[in-house]
Chain A
């Protein structure tokens, strides 16, 4: 997921929110909600509580957005708000926040030794099942669609570069990647209810 300082889409969305378009914020929430819930879940162990705190974090972020000047990536900024909201929540409940923080990188790659996301065996199975099904869907794609999506997702190539590699117009690359995502989405959608 493009979350670093080189995430132009996040910057564009933030600017749209700052110019009064709340729908852009909805896209940011939809993009990052699972990461934020996962991050807050390492501090607040109760599942429902974690969702409430995540919601509060996004609302705080919206309110603070006029002061966001883009010196850091949106996700880095959002991550700070989420951590602070989680810690404040623990303090307000009379609980002691952990001494060790999750770093942004840890938040992206769930392997922190001290703070563990609430992960029931059922959730773990669901995660594995989802990944397996997405890979299978990728394998079933026609060669041109799979190649376009692979170059984009695993090599991080721009549409223009993919167009050169695949010797086709940029518009075709865009269309192939979209069709590939739609095909993969057919297995993801049922799992997301």
Chain B
């Protein structure tokens, strides 16, 4: 265990460890490994002719003991620069919220206004309430006038699962372009396929022997928690990159999958 942590620390001091690996390393860090980290840096300085004159000095324990009384910070990570893609989750949420509001409104109306045993309820489509009041509901053609007397009638209930298809529709009609790419790939890998699902963009990379899939979706719509898993030779890494959830799956070492995931970024024009 200690050797694995120390190997991660060795990679970390070379700026070769991803965020996920750093987090895992910190979780498993013990005093033996932490001391090794300190000595690796002293050795590095010595190699460059800049060894400390008193390498045996160590104030870290005293500093950390003092900091035990200090609060831990809980700052949220900074988000990357804004992009068109970042608004998509908000759009999806707004639509989902509108559909939900319509259902709730309909249910309340039905319960409060429809007398028990009333026959042949009248039907009207209730306008969805936009989640964002600054957004006006769009419509085609002439504005429909709904008689006040009809507004208290029954509502057509949409299945909440339909919001999935609404999202899919928006994804297919407005977001055909490729937006994401892996910024780093192992030697010999190249993009062989690109596709868009309702809420994610999937890119396949291959070197003719191994295929790696990279999926990018808004973090709010992720289907799994960040982490890693392995099934046989296949490794899956899921991690947060900015406000996106990136998964990398393939028959590659975990370290490579993690590095690919960390490198995912918006395509440059």
Contact = CB atoms under 8 A, between A and B. Distances in A.
A21 B7 CA distance: 20
A102 B218 CA distance: 47
Contacts of B60: 26, 29-30, 33
Nearest to B59: A55
Contact of B62 (A55, A66, A152): A55
3 closest A-B pairs by beta carbon, nearest first, are: A34-B52, A123-B53, A30-B38
A188 interface: yes
Interface of B: 6-7, 10-17, 19, 22-23, 26, 29, 34-60, 62-64, 66-67, 70, 72-77, 184, 186-187, 253, 255-256
Given A33-B59, A55-B62, A19 B75 contact: yes
B67 A191 contact: no
Given A9-B15, A37-B59, A185-B43, A23 B29 contact: yes
Contacts of A15: 77
27 contacts: A16-B22, A20-B73, A26-B60, A26-B63, A27-B34, A29-B60, A30-B37, A30-B60, A31-B37, A34-B45, A37-B57, A37-B59, A62-B63, A62-B70, A65-B73, A66-B75, A124-B53, A127-B51, A131-B49, A134-B47, A164-B187, A177-B10, A178-B11, A185-B40, A191-B56, A192-B42, A192-B58
Nearest to B39: A188
Interface residues of A, number: 74
Interface string A68-99: 00000000000000000000000000000000
B54 A37 contact: yes
A182 B9 CA distance: 12
Contacts of A134: 43, 46-47, 51
Contacts of B62: 55
A153 B13 CA distance: 11
B56 A174 contact: no
Given A127-B52, A153-B47, A184-B43, A22 B64 contact: yes
Nearest to A28: B60
B57 to A, nearest CB: 6
Contacts of A29: 59-60, 63-64
Contacts of B36: 185
Contacts of A119: 53
Given A30-B34, A177-B14, A21 B53 contact: no
